[in-house]
Chains A and B, each alone.
Chain A
Amino acid sequence: SAVISQKPSRDICQRGTSLTIQCQVDSQVTMMFWYRQQPGQSLTLIATANQGSEATYESGFVIDKFPISRPNLTFSTLTVSNMSPEDSSIYLCSGTGQGVYNEQFFGPGTRLTVL
């Protein structure tokens, strides 16, 4: 299994600013993902974080708004840029562990409130 940590756990930000969320895995994972979970709703995949190359974004999400980095197999960051109140959500980092095909491990999430 893999243990995933995220920083910060929560933040309150002003409109127009940016926040970078860090995700650290305690072991190598094959794939890393970033999700958004709005209150009372399911997970929406933002993008797949690719090691050493540009992330693969889902429909409705763009790199200018959600730049993602993954410099190695155990670390990734998601930036929420030029925030508006509509970006208030929980952001979850996830990874698939080697040898445990298709099971995903999740971080505890970052609860973001934009004023």
Chain B
Amino acid sequence: AQSVTQLDSQVPVFEEAPVELRCNYSSSVSVYLFWYVQYPNQGLQLLLKYLSGSTLVKGINGFEAEFNKSQTSFHLRKPSVHISDTAEYFCAVNTGGFKTIFGAGTRLFVKA
């Protein structure tokens, strides 16, 4: 069975600093990987996804993630964060079925 581990429950960072949110997954088969963002009092929205091809995936709002098969990781990065990036971020994995497994979430808190 697949699983997703988000290594940090909270990440505080100053505005304009770089940030990395870590995600590791476990699966014995090929995976599709996703990052979702949830702003306060809203539902989740897709940031980016890896289905196949280039391992570096660019998403909305300047975020990018790199799929590393050997390390079973899919870390999310942004070179310079804004106050408006404060949100909960969820890593998710799907192995081709209809169910997606979500990580526990990482709360990104951007400080002025």
Residues of A within 8 A of B (CB): 4, 30-31, 41-43, 45, 48, 92, 94, 96, 101-109, 111
In the complex, chain A residues whose CB is within 8 Å of the CB of B103: 42
Question: What's the Cα separation between A50 and B51 when bound, in Å?
Answer: 25
Q: A42-B103, A48-B98, A102-B32 are in contact. Are A4 and B43 (CB under 8 A)?
A: yes
Are A103 and B46 in touch, CB under 8 angstroms? yes
Of A101, A103, A106, which one neighbours B43 at CB under 8 angstroms? Answer: A106
Of A41, A105, A106, which one neighbours B105 at CB under 8 angstroms? Answer: A41
Residues of B within 8 A of A (CB): 32, 34, 36, 41-46, 49, 51, 90, 94, 96, 98-100, 102-105
Are A102 and B43 in touch, CB under 8 angstroms? no
Question: What's the Cα separation between A101 and B96 when bound, in Å?
Answer: 8
Question: What's the Cα separation between A105 and B32 when bound, in Å?
Answer: 16
Among A31, A103, A107, chain B packs the most CB atoms within 10 A around the CB of: A103
A-B pairs under 8 A by CB, number: 48
The prevalent SS among residues of A at the interface is: strand
Of B45, B51, B102, which one neighbours A43 at CB under 8 angstroms? Answer: B102
Q: A41-B104, A42-B103 are in contact. Are A102 and B44 (CB under 8 A)?
A: no
* The 9 A-B residue pairs with the shortest CB-CB distance in the complex, in nearest-first order: A106-B43, A106-B44, A108-B43, A42-B104, A102-B94, A31-B98, A43-B102, A42-B105, A42-B102
In the complex, chain B residues whose CB is within 8 Å of the CB of A102: 32, 51, 94, 96, 98, 100
Question: What's the Cα separation between A31 and B98 when bound, in Å?
Answer: 7
Of A41, A45, A107, A111, which one neighbours B99 at CB under 8 angstroms? Answer: A45
Are A109 and B98 in touch, CB under 8 angstroms? no
